[in-house]
Chains A and B, each alone.
Chain A
């Protein structure tokens, strides 16, 4: 065992990358839940995004096009969920599960020809001399563009929810859909848009795993990250900046256990691999006492007649 092999600077840089898929998916789900919809299909949308992004990136040779395709793929799949819950008023928990099961199936179907293929690499953003600064350089200025997009999205979602009229309407729909309807807002339309936004972000999060983190395609490769993202939204009390904090916390744990595996710690690999899931449960328990921040209409179907 050699713990000195773990370099704290590289660990922090790596945890930011490990956190990005969770961050993207959780930010999307946060918007969906703030609109009053509980979409449990994050895992399915992520894995679908992972394969859409991967296949398009391989075919076109452009990772950027891949990420766009992943966002489109995730959004299209989420449209199915929107159709079920907003138009045919199906139970949101059941529909979300259906979306995950369906997404896992469709992704392995689409991904058949792509096992073992290497995707084109996405180059890091070139910050010039900034990345040469000791400590700060490798941590802040040596990443792929998507990582920065993730951070900008958190800031953007926060600003929109807090300062704009659109954000206010979205929150109104989530807090009390009957009141929002009475005020003349199109509850169903707003929710469908929110669901598609969440789907697009989950898709990009999935593609981040298959194109940058791993980078490879294997069936079921998201391995529960979508569910951790869902837990993270609860952890964050539906606040964007706390999603960022939580994602980095989980990214840190994931990265640390990977490094410990590499360093040959005396704990068996399987028990280290369990740790992110166990810690998610522990965090959920610690925070579940406070549900006051949850949007008022979360998970309830809306029909104008009732």
Chain B
């Protein structure tokens, strides 16, 4: 007879081993999935996880790791603060879009003027856009107790419609021969989020992600506010007794995560994506949720998880072109990872007992 027994305190070993176990299980079942799709499982896994790092064309793919990883890490860091405190911002995708629109809007407004002040202004506008969009669920929750999960998610759909309206209307390239989408910011030097070191993948978004990681680490480990975040998540009642103001914490967590998501959107639209178009967003805001959980809501873990997820995107693209693996298979793969992570997390808080149940 196997039964579960609650551990007196969560196991630290399992807290760190769970993500590794989940990755291994996902490799296995992902392989089964690829085999069912008629692909060689070993070759598929190697194509996704080995080729971008050590394959023939790795010099091309390695920089991509930073380009795809940076927005994921940036968004996930923000989300992790809220998730730790039990504040669920599910609408990072919307905040990402709004940040991109605000930032790109400022940049396009200055076109064709040149100046060193333009890009910093765009960064501020991008951060503001994401922050403002996240403030809607935050204020509604503080003021009326509205569920932030549903409101932030509804706002994703609103933001997507807004993006469509902008790229077909106000921000459409007047010299674009009627094609949807804005001017290409990559061809507008003052607004271009160019690589800082050529061919390294290192752009300002990567720098911002690094700063965010350090900031979050210090905040959680050393600052009073980080303590408030942790206590609120683990023991809400104790948090209230220790003088944490829940309203201000909600505003802070949602605001910060919105701001970071907005920044990620701005750096993407002014750099790798280049222009505001209907589908410039590729769901980083949702994948970042997986990144945050896989990284155990810990800044260092999130960096590792973000790089792993970036790898699945890059490797997925390669597998798509070389093996004809459908793009959706990677999405399933990412979803599976989160499933296994949540399932194995059982062993952090519980242990298995074998043998007969003793009398209590």
What residues of chain A have their CB less than 8 Å away from a CB belonging to chain B?
40, 80, 83-84, 88-91, 93-95, 97-98, 101-106, 108-109, 112, 219, 223-224, 227-228, 230-231, 234, 268, 270-271, 273-274, 277-278, 280-281, 284-285, 288-289, 291, 303, 305-306
B158-A274 in contact (CB<8A): yes
Chain B residues lying within 8 Å of A102, measured Cβ to Cβ, are: 332, 335-336, 338-339
B161-A284 in contact (CB<8A): no
A105-B334 in contact (CB<8A): yes
Q: Write out, one digit per residue, whether chain B residues 156-189 have a CB within 8 A of any chain A CB (1) or not (0).
A: 1110011011001100000000000000000000
Q: In this complex, which of B150, B169, B350 has the most chain A Cβ atoms within 10 angstroms of its Cβ?
A: B150
- Residues 119-173 of B contacting A (Cβ, < 8 Å): 136, 140, 144-147, 149-151, 153-158, 161-162, 164-165, 168-169
A223-B157 in contact (CB<8A): yes
| Chain A min CB distance to B165 (Å) | 4
Q: Is B88 in the interface zone, CB < 8 Å from A?
A: yes
- Please pick, from A94, A106, A228, A273, the residue contacting B293 in the complex, using a CB distance under 8 A: A94
- Please pick, from B140, B332, B336, B346, the residue contacting A89 in the complex, using a CB distance under 8 A: B346
| 8 A-B pairs with the lowest CB-CB distances in the bound complex, closest first | A102-B335, A105-B331, A270-B165, A108-B328, A105-B332, A90-B342, A109-B328, A88-B346
A288-B146 in contact (CB<8A): yes
Q: Pull 14 A–B residue pairs with CB atoms less than 8 Å apart, ordered by A.
A: A40-B149, A97-B338, A101-B289, A105-B333, A219-B328, A224-B157, A231-B147, A234-B150, A278-B154, A281-B155, A288-B140, A288-B145, A289-B144, A303-B350
B343-A285 in contact (CB<8A): no
Tell me the nearest residue of chain A to B347, going by C-beta. Answer: A88
Q: Is B286 in the interface zone, CB < 8 Å from A?
A: yes
Chain A residues lying within 8 Å of B338, measured Cβ to Cβ, are: 94, 97-98, 101-102
Q: A97-B289, A270-B162 are in contact. List 15 more A-B contacts (CB 8 A).
A: A89-B350, A90-B345, A105-B329, A105-B335, A106-B335, A108-B326, A108-B327, A224-B153, A224-B154, A230-B150, A231-B154, A234-B150, A273-B161, A278-B158, A280-B150
A277-B328 in contact (CB<8A): no
What residues of chain B have their CB less than 8 Å away from a CB belonging to chain A?
4-6, 88, 90, 136, 140, 144-147, 149-151, 153-158, 161-162, 164-165, 168-169, 286, 289-290, 293, 326-336, 338-339, 342-346, 349-350
CA A219 to CA B334, docked complex, whole Å = 17
Could you count the A-B residue pairs with CB atoms below 8 Å apart for me: how many are there?
138
| Chain A min CB distance to B104 (Å) | 17
- Please pick, from A88, A106, A288, the residue contacting B147 in the complex, using a CB distance under 8 A: A288
B328-A112 in contact (CB<8A): yes
Tell me the nearest residue of chain B to A287, going by C-beta. Answer: B146
CA A88 to CA B341, docked complex, whole Å = 11
CA A289 to CA B146, docked complex, whole Å = 8
A284-B345 in contact (CB<8A): no
Q: Mostly helix, strand, loop or mixed at chain B's interface?
A: helix
Known interface pairs A270-B162, A271-B165; A112-B326 also in contact (CB < 8 Å)? yes
| Chain B min CB distance to A245 (Å) | 19
Known interface pairs A84-B339, A305-B6; A288-B144 also in contact (CB < 8 Å)? yes
B349-A270 in contact (CB<8A): no
CA A19 to CA B164, docked complex, whole Å = 25
Tell me the nearest residue of chain A to B292, going by C-beta. Answer: A94
Q: In this complex, which of B140, B326, B336, B343 has the most chain A Cβ atoms within 10 angstroms of its Cβ?
A: B343
Chain A residues lying within 8 Å of B168, measured Cβ to Cβ, are: 270
Known interface pairs A88-B342, A227-B154, A268-B169; A274-B162 also in contact (CB < 8 Å)? yes
- Please pick, from B5, B327, B339, the residue contacting A80 in the complex, using a CB distance under 8 A: B339
A88-B150 in contact (CB<8A): no
Known interface pairs A274-B158, A280-B154; A234-B147 also in contact (CB < 8 Å)? yes
Q: In this complex, which of A90, A277, A289 has the most chain B Cβ atoms within 10 angstroms of its Cβ?
A: A277
- Please pick, from A230, A277, A284, the residue contacting B158 in the complex, using a CB distance under 8 A: A277
B162-A227 in contact (CB<8A): no
| Chain A min CB distance to B16 (Å) | 18
CA A108 to CA B329, docked complex, whole Å = 9
CA A40 to CA B335, docked complex, whole Å = 15
A94-B342 in contact (CB<8A): yes
Chain A residues lying within 8 Å of B162, measured Cβ to Cβ, are: 270, 274
CA A169 to CA B149, docked complex, whole Å = 29
CA A228 to CA B158, docked complex, whole Å = 13
| Chain B min CB distance to A234 (Å) | 7
| Chain A min CB distance to B139 (Å) | 10
CA A270 to CA B158, docked complex, whole Å = 9
A90-B158 in contact (CB<8A): no
Tell me the nearest residue of chain A to B137, going by C-beta. Answer: A281
CA A278 to CA B332, docked complex, whole Å = 30
CA A207 to CA B290, docked complex, whole Å = 28
| Chain A min CB distance to B85 (Å) | 13
Chain B residues lying within 8 Å of A274, measured Cβ to Cβ, are: 157-158, 161-162
Tell me the nearest residue of chain B to A230, going by C-beta. Answer: B150
Chain A residues lying within 8 Å of B154, measured Cβ to Cβ, are: 224, 227-228, 231, 277-278, 280-281
Chain B residues lying within 8 Å of A224, measured Cβ to Cβ, are: 153-154, 156-157
Chain B residues lying within 8 Å of A273, measured Cβ to Cβ, are: 161
Chain A residues lying within 8 Å of B146, measured Cβ to Cβ, are: 281, 284-285, 288
